[in-house]
Amino acid sequence: MLMSTRPLISDQEADALVGALRRRTLLGASVAAGGILATPLAAFAASKPAPEAEITVDQARTAPIPIIIPDFGGGLGQQMAEVLTNDLNNTGLFKVIPGNSAAAKPDFATAKGLGAHAQVTGSVTGSGASVRVEMRLWDVLSQQQIQGTAYTTSSANWRRIAHIVGDVIYERMLGEKGYFDTRIAFISRSGPRGHQRTRLAIMDQDGANARMLTAGNWLTLTPRFSPAKDQIAFMSYANNRPRVYLFDLNTGRQQILGDFQGISFAPRFSPDGRSVLLSVTRNGGSDLYAVDLASGARRQLTASGAIDTSPCYSPDSSQIVFNSDRGGSPQLYIMPAGGGNAQRISYGQGTYGSPVWSPRGDLIAFTRIAGGMFSLGVMQPDGSGERIMTQGFTVESPSFCPNGRVLAYCRQSRAGAGGSGFSSTIGMVDITGFNDRVLPTPEGASDPAWSPLNG
């Protein structure tokens, strides 16, 4: 059952968070008011149909797509262009060329001379509660408009509009959904190495708009975004009893998930958001349970007598990958979603943990420890094709972006005497090991968890 408990932040703090944290939606042209209104912009003149994406992600990794981005007219327009430029450049798949003006239609001869394959034009008009952003994406070689959209919203949403425009460009140029209009839940860390304050936090995928959700009175770990609701599951040591909680982004309130006798930890939502998998300690080991969020009913899935933990559903909800030491050392196993026969899939050197299934269904990410070194890698669901993407003193807690092309993870450095030199940051890396980089955060950070698109 779900049990109420004392909020982890004050009522005043919770009320202040509500408007900024609830799920973001993009409204269609038939909606009259509220949120962000998107309407299509017709091409300037009758022309051939807009070309489909002809460049694959793999091709763009080898040769980033040159694209011209103007400043959309100064002020908010300039700020939006900066966010859009950073989104595209940070993928490593685009090479942004600054534009000199926000003309309605490109000078294709000049664009070709600069080596551009695509160009954006656009403008920002209005202010305050009513701002209109127009953007057009052009194929320079064919001289055709690929996309034209106008967005009407409050000026407070300017950053989000820039991310949405970036997603449009990503999808039209590469043929896959973008991931810029997303957020990341994480654990914010501050203070000395041996006594850090940990707070549940949330930020945009580029590190902007970071907000703390809990006060840091108790150790907090492993946040997980719901794919369907304005909720984050996480583990807290509140009142010195480690348990899984649900944080409601609409209200700022939290509640305990279930009333287990043992410690509950390692939560993970089902793909439909209706249930949560977690681990519960029992007799020196831990078992996996599924908890239905509507009824509170719980179902035990494993009883191996070992430590079974870190469960994650496959995207179609038919299977669960998890970590277990039932064979003598921590390894990865897959079993049917209802429990039953579990098959080991990890056979490389060392021990394995923190498995997470890609939303594409084709890969499972993991952490491997061997020879005193942490590695972050991926393998196919049958255990074949294992690849290491990055290594370090500690690299762990992988989380896929919504299109499955990028992983966020935690990277920590070795601490010296008295904890000196220690750092904990969030990294991002392409699933091929390409474009490994650090995400800016206001404090130390760990345990990243990517939201769904528009989440």
Is a pLDDT exceeding 80 seen at residue 263? yes
Residues 91 and 187 in one domain: no
The set of residues, in sequence order, having a beta carbon less than 8 Å from that of 76 and lying 6+ positions away, is: 124, 131, 155, 158
Residues 224 and 140 in one domain: no
Sheet containing strand 444-450, edge to edge, reads 211-212, 197-204, 183-190, 444-450
Residues 165 and 90 in one domain: yes
Mean pLDDT of 75-80: 93
Whether 26 is covered by a domain: the verdict is: no
Instruction: Identify the pLDDT of residue 30.
Output: 34
Whether 436 is covered by a domain: the verdict is: yes
Mean pLDDT of 276-287: 95
Domain count, the chain: 2
Mean pLDDT of 18-30: 53
Instruction: List the one residue out of 170, 77, 140 whose CA is nearest residue 401.
Output: 170
Distance CA 23, CA 33 (A): 17
pLDDT over 90 percentage in the chain:
80
- The position carrying tokens 């599924």 is 290
Whether 164 is covered by a domain: the verdict is: yes
Whether 23 is covered by a domain: the verdict is: no
Whether 429 is covered by a domain: the verdict is: yes
Residues 402 and 443 in one domain: yes
Torsion of CA 220, 429, 140, 168, to 10 degrees: -30
CB-CB neighbours of 417 under 10 Å: 6
Instruction: Identify the pLDDT of residue 2.
Output: 37
| Lowest-confidence segment of 7-11, 125-129, 311-315, 342-346 by average pLDDT | 7-11
Q: Which helix (H) or strand (E) holds 298?
A: strand 298-300
DSSP-assigned letters across all residues of 353-398: EEEEE-TTSS-EEEEEEETTEEEEEEE-TTS-S-EEEEEESEEEEE
Residues 131 and 197 in one domain: no
CATH of the domain at 345: 2.120.10.30
CA distances from 195 to 25, 184, 219, 315, 422 (A): 39, 24, 10, 38, 12
Report pLDDT digits (tens) over 118-161: 999 999 999 899 999 999 999 999 999 999 999 999 999 999 99
CA atoms within 13 A on the CB side of 19: 6
CA 137 to chain centre: 26
Residues 362 and 401 in one domain: yes
- Domain end, chosen from 146, 174, 202, is at 174
Residues 170 and 208 in one domain: no
pLDDT classification of 270: cutoffs 50, 70, 90: very high
Residues 231 and 365 in one domain: yes
Please give the model's pTM, rounded to 2 decimal places. 0.92
Residues 102 and 125 in one domain: yes
Report pLDDT digits (tens) over 390-400: 999 999 999 99
- The answer to whether 414 and 405 are in contact (CB under 8 A) is no
Instruction: Identify the pLDDT of residue 212.
Output: 97
- Domain end, chosen from 174, 204, 233, is at 174
Domain that holds residue 400: 182-453
SS3 label, residue 8: coil
- The answer to whether 451 and 183 are in contact (CB under 8 A) is yes
Instruction: List the one residue out of 401, 455, 393 whose CA is nearest residue 424.
Output: 393
Distance CA 69, CA 351 (A): 46
Report pLDDT digits (tens) over 91-125: 999 999 998 766 778 999 999 999 999 999 999 99
| Lowest-confidence segment of 104-108, 322-326, 378-382 by average pLDDT | 104-108
On average, the pLDDT of the chain sits at 90
Mean pLDDT of 254-277: 95
Residues 350 and 385 in one domain: yes
Whether 207 is covered by a domain: the verdict is: yes
- Domain end, chosen from 174, 192, 219, is at 174
Whether 447 is covered by a domain: the verdict is: yes
- Output the CA angle 155-161-163, nearest 5 degrees: 140
pLDDT classification of 42: cutoffs 50, 70, 90: confident
